[in-house]
């Protein structure tokens, strides 16, 4: 009887281990499958031209997406300028100042904002920044992406600030630091690493957004000087090229996908490395 | 009874041979010694829950006063009212009067008060900065304009840490051991040259050897600084303090010169506590 139960328990263990292990493996392999597929398909069509040339007119092969790469970077810069300060400060408010009810409302609203479909945010940015001036612009695209950056930044900032031990706050205050001084000189530096990572994740997330850009930044087959012209971006280019009937465009769409992913990965890994070399803040 | 005789064979005496008790005790009675803090009729509340009841206490200048008592008796709460740290906790208030050098602390600017009344916490809490920046922190936020280097060195000397860290001042404070971190926190508090140092169980996270170092440090600091220490360790109170106050359930039960309180307590509850019958 006992022996039977032991065998049952052991086999149950094996089954559970196998199921969870397979699931874990699946998670990893999905990423690597995507990566491998992208490298295989995109790598073939990646060339120096892709980074330096403008798209060729329909019917001609070759050309590149230099304008879309720069466009994506410009849009991300705008999104960062518009979204990060608001998100950061709201996060500080939630973690350090907020009372009970008001904080709850903000937190809940932030989560809702995070859940708003990106296309809806696109429509909102359209009515806010496109309709009044009657043309698409990089600025409008930046507004749309900036809005999407806010909730992720708020929540990650709040979370990392809360993780800073209360004893540090007391230590600073016992030396006569005001609340704001404590936050600015002790709490924020202590949470710096986490906050930067959170902000980067937010930017990485919106770097791949297509829907909100379709009718805000639109796209552009040429360079887009300044901030008030329609501007090309990698995700929209991928969308346009992938649904076009030309094989050459399909190849370029793969290459664009690879570049987009590489940009996000490099930014992410790069910052993490820089932060871990930074030292002190890490061990809190 | 706990042996508190100086130079006795107790564990306490062996751990801290440099710390003598009776020699540092004032010959005059407590009432004649110059006072730093004068606390009268102090009541403290967390919301509607009262934590300190009608406490009266005089804390003499350049002496070490120890607060002992079982957990939750209000000694930490009381300590934290002395530099108004409790104000950082929501819904707290106190009535009664606390005078620092004759001045009501409630009428003082809180920044100025905390500059004069430094604090060291239970667990070492260095900032995630370099050793140097930790010590310089209090000076910087107070807008000190002079030479930081000298004061940082001086403070580290006073905290008996200089020799151990002088070659890597710009390394992270987290590289230090627990005892060194606690002495760094003391140096950080000393940098702004406080008149009073509040120590909230400063040795509870440290090993006996490091504890002895900190007690020796307290002994040396007495010339320039009034200290109030909360401790759960009665040997520590006996070794390192001149006066001891025993608290129970938010009330001050007994306050006397340390050797007297430990050898001839006048209240039966004090005797019960220090002989280990409860708490």
- Tens of pLDDT, residues B174-203: 999 988 999 999 999 999 889 999 999 998
- Tens of pLDDT, residues A57-89: 887 888 889 999 999 999 999 999 999 999 999
Q: Can you tell me the mean pLDDT for B123-139? A: 93
Residue B171: is its pLDDT beyond 60?
yes
Which residues pair with residue B97 across a beta bridge?
B40
Q: What is the pTM of this model?
A: 0.79
What's residue A107's pLDDT?
A: 92
- Are residues A38 and A203 in contact, defined by beta-carbon separation less than 8 angstroms? no
What ipTM does the predicted assembly reach? 0.80
**Domain containing A207 — which CATH number?**
1.10.3720.10
| DSSP letter (8 states) at residue A54 | P
Whether A269 is in a domain gets the answer yes
How close B112 gets to chain A, by Cα (Å)? Answer: 7
Closest Cβ–Cβ partner in A170, A176, A281 for B111: A176
Give DSSP secondary structure letters for A135-151: S--HHHHHHHHHHHHHH
- Mean pLDDT for chain A overall: 90
How close A166 gets to chain B, by Cα (Å)? Answer: 9
B140 vs B48: CA distance, rounded Å: 38
- Tens of pLDDT, residues B250-262: 999 999 999 999 9
How close B43 gets to chain A, by Cα (Å)? Answer: 22
Q: Alpha-carbon dihedral of residues A46, A48, A50, A51, nearest 10 degrees? A: 120
pLDDT band at A283 (very low <50, low <70, confident <90, very high): very low
Q: Can you tell me the mean pLDDT for B211-235? A: 91
- Tens of pLDDT, residues A181-190: 999 999 999 9
Residue B109: is its pLDDT beyond 70?
yes
Per-residue exposure over B70-80, b if at least 16 CB sit within 10 Å of its own CB, e if not: eeebbbbbbbb
Q: Can you tell me the mean pLDDT for A130-154? A: 94
Residue A284: is its pLDDT beyond 60?
no
Q: Can you tell me the mean pLDDT for B77-95? A: 90
A212 vs A128: CA distance, rounded Å: 13
Please count the structural domains in chain A.
Answer: 1
A236 vs A72: CA distance, rounded Å: 10
Residue A54: is its pLDDT beyond 50?
yes
Whether A10 is in a domain gets the answer no
Whether A4 is in a domain gets the answer no
Residue of chain B whose alpha carbon sits nearest to that of A179: B88
What's residue B213's pLDDT?
A: 86
Closest Cβ–Cβ partner in A170, A174, A178 for B118: A174
In this predicted structure, which of A1-5, A93-97, A233-237, B20-24 has the lowest mean pLDDT? B20-24
What's residue A100's pLDDT?
A: 83
Q: Can you tell me the mean pLDDT for B73-81? A: 93
Q: Can you tell me the mean pLDDT for A121-149? A: 94
Residue B227: is its pLDDT beyond 80?
yes
Residue B151: is its pLDDT beyond 80?
yes
pLDDT band at A278 (very low <50, low <70, confident <90, very high): low
What residue has token string 């230099």?
A66
Chain A residue numbers touching B142 (CB-CB < 8 A): 176
Whether A43 is in a domain gets the answer no
CATH of domain B33-274: 3.40.50.300
- Which residue out of B120, B122, B127, B200 would a mutagenesis test of the A interface target, given it has the greatest number of A Cβ atoms within 10 Å? B127
Residue partners of A104: CB distance under 8 A and separation at least 6: none
- Tens of pLDDT, residues A14-50: 999 999 999 999 999 998 999 899 999 888 888 888 8
Residue of chain A whose alpha carbon sits nearest to that of B109: A176
pLDDT band at B206 (very low <50, low <70, confident <90, very high): confident
- Tens of pLDDT, residues B23-70: 444 444 444 568 899 999 999 999 999 999 999 999 999 999 999 999
Q: Which domain holds residue A184?
A: 70-283
Whether A275 is in a domain gets the answer yes
What's residue B32's pLDDT?
A: 57
- Mean pLDDT for chain B overall: 85
Work out how many CB contacts closer than 8 A connect A with B. Answer: 76
The token duo for B249 is 């359930």
More confident residue, B20 or B76: B76
Which residues pair with residue B256 across a beta bridge?
B244
For chain B, give the longest Cα–Cα distance. 54
Residue partners of B275: CB distance under 8 A and separation at least 6: B1, B2
- Tens of pLDDT, residues A203-238: 998 999 999 999 899 888 888 888 889 999 999 999
Closest Cβ–Cβ partner in A165, A169, A280 for B129: A280
Task: Write out the residues of chain A at the interface with chain B, using a CB-CB cutoff of 8 A.
Answer: 165, 167-178, 181, 185-186, 189-190, 279-281, 283-284
Q: Can you tell me the mean pLDDT for B152-173? A: 92
Residue of chain A whose alpha carbon sits nearest to that of B190: A175
- Are residues B85 and A174 in contact, defined by beta-carbon separation less than 8 angstroms? yes
In 3-state terms chain A splits into helix, strand, coil percentages (rounded to 5) of: 80, 0, 20
A175 vs A177: CA distance, rounded Å: 6
Give residue limits of the domains in chain B. 33-274
The token duo for A33 is 């499958």
pLDDT band at A7 (very low <50, low <70, confident <90, very high): very high
Percent with pLDDT over 90 in chain B:
64
Residue B111: is its pLDDT beyond 90?
no
**Overall residue count recorded for chain A in this entry:** 284
Q: Can you tell me the mean pLDDT for B110-119? A: 91
Whether A110 is in a domain gets the answer yes
The token duo for B161 is 């840490």
């Amino acid at each position: 009887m006992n022996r039977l139960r032991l065998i049952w328990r052991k086999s149950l263990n094996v089954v559970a281990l196998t199921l969870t292990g397979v699931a874990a493996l699946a998670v990893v392999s999905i990423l690597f499958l995507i990566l491998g597929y992208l490298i295989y398909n995109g790598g073939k069509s990646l060339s120096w031209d892709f980074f330096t040339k403008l798209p060729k007119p329909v019917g001609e092969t070759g050309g590149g997406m230099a304008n879309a790469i720069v466009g994506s970077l410009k849009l991300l810069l705008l999104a960062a300028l518009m979204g990060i300060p608001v998100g950061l400060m709201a996060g500080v408010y939630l973690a350090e100042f907020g009372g009970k009810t008001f904080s709850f409302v903000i937190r809940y609203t932030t989560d809702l904002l995070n859940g708003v479909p990106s296309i809806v945010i696109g429509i909102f940015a359209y009515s806010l920044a496109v309709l009044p001036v009657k043309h698409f612009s990089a600025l409008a695209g930046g507004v749309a992406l900036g809005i999407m950056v806010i909730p992720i930044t708020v929540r990650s900032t709040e979370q990392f600030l809360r993780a800073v031990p209360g004893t540090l706050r007391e230590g600073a205050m016992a030396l006569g630091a005001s609340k704001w001084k404590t936050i600015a000189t002790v709490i924020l530096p202590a949470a710096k690493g986490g906050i930067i990572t959170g902000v980067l994740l937010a930017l990485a997330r919106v770097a791949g957004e297509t829907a909100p850009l379709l009718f805000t930044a639109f796209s552009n087959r040429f360079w887009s000087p300044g901030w008030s012209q329609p501007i090309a971006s990698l995700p929209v280019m991928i969308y346009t090229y992938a649904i076009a009937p030309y094989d050459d465009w399909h190849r370029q769409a793969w290459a664009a996908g690879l570049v987009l992913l590489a940009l996000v990965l490099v930014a992410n890994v790069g910052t993490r490395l820089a932060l871990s070399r930074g030292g002190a803040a890490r061990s809190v | 009874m706990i042996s508190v005789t100086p130079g006795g064979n107790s564990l306490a005496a062996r751990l801290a041979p440099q710390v003598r008790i009776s020699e540092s005790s004032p010959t005059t009675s407590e009432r004649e010694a110059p006072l730093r803090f004068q606390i009268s009729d102090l009541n403290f509340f967390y919301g509607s829950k009262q934590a300190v009841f009608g406490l009266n206490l005089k804390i003499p200048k350049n002496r070490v006063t120890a607060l002992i008592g079982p957990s939750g008796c209000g000694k930490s709460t009381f300590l934290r009212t002395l530099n108004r740290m409790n104000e950082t906790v929501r819904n707290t208030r106190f009535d009664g009067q606390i005078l620092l050098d004759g001045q009501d602390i409630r009428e003082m600017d809180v920044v100025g008060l905390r500059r004069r009344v430094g604090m060291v916490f239970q667990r070492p809490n260095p900032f995630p900065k370099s050793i140097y920046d930790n010590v310089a922190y209090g000076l910087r936020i107070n807008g000190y304009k002079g030479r930081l280097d000298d004061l940082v060195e001086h403070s580290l000397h006073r905290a008996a840490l200089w020799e151990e860290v002088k070659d890597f001042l710009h390394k992270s404070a987290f590289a230090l051991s627990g005892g060194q971190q606690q002495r760094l926190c003391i140096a950080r508090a000393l940098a702004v040259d406080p008149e009073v140092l509040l120590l909230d169980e400063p040795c509870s996270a440290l090993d006996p050897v490091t504890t002895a170092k900190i007690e020796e440090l307290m002994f040396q600091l007495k010339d320039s600084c009034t200290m109030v220490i909360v401790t759960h360790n009665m040997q520590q109170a006996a070794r390192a303090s001149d006066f001891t106050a025993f608290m129970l359930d938010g009330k001050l039960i007994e306050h006397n010169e340390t050797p007297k309180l430990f050898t001839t307590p006048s209240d039966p509850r004090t005797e019960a506590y220090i002989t280990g019958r409860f708490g």
